[in-house]
Structure 1
């Protein structure tokens, strides 16, 4: 059992440089104060200690004025450290770009040559089968599986484009494939509508009646992922002047169907949120926020688990609200894309909303975000899922919401400077606020898709109806438009 916790965030090197610069400024002030002082009191010669005092004063003069002042040395050190940090970051960006380009080229080449792919993957599959039979195969809770998923997601789109004979597409990844597939499903009418019924219940926050004092308090507000249960908790805070802040805590996937039930937090919602499409669970939470009275421009802090983190990131990136911070647990969010969207919104305020990601090394779901982020866009807490309780045989044990709650507590106890800074920035949004109300929201889909028991002929008939207008146009020839733009 390991309790190791690693934080990938703002550069510690830059933090050291900043502290050296502050020390230099402090010494400059101290030097100006000391320069105004008399080293030798006027009546010192009248005492028996006059001679030793004079010698000490002379030594102080030499130490004070001789050699390079300490503040100049500190300033020089700060500049050198910053230069080193910038060179390191440039090298890191370049190496990441090279890795992505090489991976994309290889995946695209494999897609273009199916025989080559079979020749390479065939022996690999055989070796994997032998290892599995020997009982040494990695499970989903193996950190190496997360690494494999990251690489696969990053290059899946390039492989698919290769199959079509197309070159790699910069900026695309596995989520792009999902969005393309959902666009096709939407054209076939296989995506449920985004009409919802929202009900609420006033249920107090368990264990606290005040703003959160740490990440664990915020994560604890996320409703459990239970089918039929509430999916969102919205807590509103207010200060003495009437200024408000809304805390929106969003659950994860609680149903494995694809749009055939009333629960929008199902596979259909999961895929839509992963692809960044404003539909299903994203639209469901927006509906709940509307019922809660959250207006465009209102201040919001988001916390989300798994699919809920994807939903939170999608809504935060829309620019509809004043985002004060976001905490993701077990969510494969695209922090780079979100940071770019937030920066567009934050130019006027000059404040950068903190994004904190809490991940488990053994969680395969986190791997769906592609190559591991470098911490330049968010503060990332990476921990062992078994830090508190050893993993069991559940293949997704590392994705457990309860385990992530424990890890949030470990993060609060961490002395890491980058994490402490991001955590302080997040909690600063709650300064001077008191809880006004807190409610749990249950969102039901009004128009689910027909169930899997639908007869094939009914499915064919539904698709034919969807494309009836196109079919009619093909059969009747080109449309002839009248003066008002209608078929004549």
Structure 2
């Protein structure tokens, strides 16, 4: 069976399973009902004392009732005390779990950063030993790649999913996913070691310090290097709009996940109209469609993926902006963003840009951990701990969304028929339904923010299809 849903973040140190939070909520409900019982018994007790027991000939049954009422009050009071102790223990365990998880995460990143720095220090020596063979191999590979046609280079990039599918069993484990997350975060530390930057200065400007260099810097270097060989080169984009259709309001996370486009269109925009109110919008953005490193006609490709992580002008980002402009979204329009995979990265960047009136954000399997979304934007992020894709976005150092996680293949065989089996949108839609069912306070608060002013609205839904425009 799949792993338990674990919920954390959102401005709280508490991290625990949805089941534990549900138990804490049940305890609080029982405690409230017992408080009502105490109030009722107190009122009855006062009535018995003021009425029957003041009479000289009060029946023995009235005295017995008085004793029973007092006994019941004492029992309920003791039960309430036990419930309060248990509830406090549950909350404390969730907070301690969160603190321990945070400490382990920081320790893991520090160890990875140190190892990366040491590797960078040793890299010139390693390169010197291997230089003759490396130069010949790299030169031959570069020359050969440059001589390939664009179609052949795209075919090589398209072979990547096949490799991932064959190795999905090994890649779909939480340990490997966490190792990838720490590795991408330490790439800048390798560079600091190569350049002989003093360790204290490297720490100061890196992810754990001022954040002047980090994952985005490493991705930018990758874009620059790949561009020399015709890969990861951005192009213009064009957007076509389909005919709008009537729709119903989305009021749950599962409903929003179900509206993320999967077909030819990459973007869906729902416009909410209510009499006397400003039109509101919900923008749904799909995931990567083309895994080739050489840009073709699809903007949702590896070029946009790497450019987005680098914080550069990704084709998919520009395509969504064009679609929003065509839909009538202005800087003042209230808008909720929902995105999956690359679409989640784009959604987070749009919410963080300051160019839009972001009312909420919902991401699934998105490499968006390094996007500095303001705390004022309600954000729920869903991740599978055995999904390698969100790990490519690094650690959650730049934002603090409500984070819902679970291990998709805990105790079950990994599906090897697809690449990135824990990353499938169908699986994330199932997890979104579990998030809805959790009833956890932070989840409910975020959902309420996303659902603001949608009652009584009419909804018009439009699909947008974007293509790259080559020079």
2:314 to 279, 295, 299: 279
Correspondences of 1:294-443 after superposition (within 5 Å): 294-334=329-369, 337-338=371-372, 341-343=373-375, 346=376, 353-359=378-384, 361=386, 363-371=387-395, 377-384=401-408, 391-409=415-433, 411-412=435-436, 414-415=437-438, 417=440, 421=444, 424-425=447-448, 428-429=451-452, 431-443=454-466
Higher deviation after alignment, 159-168 or 8-17: 8-17
Q: TM-score under structure 1 normalisation? A: 0.69
5+ residue gaps in structure 1?
A: 119-134, 347-351, 450-488
Higher deviation after alignment, 397-406 or 44-53: 44-53
Task: Identify if the C-alpha distance between structure 1 residues 136 and 436 changes in structure 2 by more than 3 Å, giving closer, same or farther.
Answer: closer
2:117 to 98, 105, 108: 108
Which residue number in structure 2 is paired with residue 177 of structure 1? 218
Work out whether 1:163 is the aligned partner of 2:163. Answer: no
CA offset digits 1:190-249 (Å, max 9, x no partner): 8756644322012547xxx3112433322222222x6xx322111111234334321111
The offset of 1:9, in angstroms, is 2.8
5+ residue gaps in structure 2?
A: 128-165, 208-212
Structure with bigger helix share is: 2
Which residue number in structure 2 is paired with residue 57 of structure 1? 66
The offset of 1:152, in angstroms, is 1.8
The offset of 1:309, in angstroms, is 1.0
Which residue number in structure 1 is paired with residue 253 of structure 2? 215
Question: Does the Cα contact within 8 Å between 1:108 and 1:159 map onto a contact in 2?
Answer: yes
Which residue number in structure 2 is paired with residue 198 of structure 1? 239
CA RMSD, 1 decimal: 4.4
Correspondences of 1:116-265 after superposition (within 5 Å): 139-166=170-197, 167=199, 168-169=202-203, 170-171=206-207, 173-182=214-223, 195-202=236-243, 204=245, 209-224=247-262, 229-258=264-293, 260-265=295-300
The offset of 1:80, in angstroms, is 6.7
CA offset digits 1:355-404 (Å, max 9, x no partner): 1314362x33233133589x963232324269999723433344333444
| Cα distance in 2 for residues equivalent to 1:353 and 1:415 | 18
Instruction: Give the total of aligned pairs.
Output: 413
The offset of 1:70, in angstroms, is 7.1
Which residue number in structure 1 is paired with residue 159 of structure 2? none
The offset of 1:109, in angstroms, is 0.7
| Cα distance in 1 for residues equivalent to 2:62 and 2:283 | 68
Higher deviation after alignment, 240-249 or 229-238: 240-249
CA offset digits 1:66-91 (Å, max 9, x no partner): 99887777667766765665555444
The offset of 1:58, in angstroms, is 4.4
Task: Identify if the C-alpha distance between structure 1 residues 105 and 242 changes in structure 2 by more than 3 Å, giving closer, same or farther.
Answer: same
SS of 1:265's equivalent in the other structure is: coil
The offset of 1:40, in angstroms, is 2.8
CA offset digits 1:19-51 (Å, max 9, x no partner): 767877776676566555323352468899711
Question: Does the Cα contact within 8 Å between 2:22 and 2:438 map onto a contact in 1?
Answer: no
Task: Identify if the C-alpha distance between structure 1 residues 15 and 214 changes in structure 2 by more than 3 Å, giving closer, same or farther.
Answer: closer
Whichever of the two has the greater Rg, that structure is 1
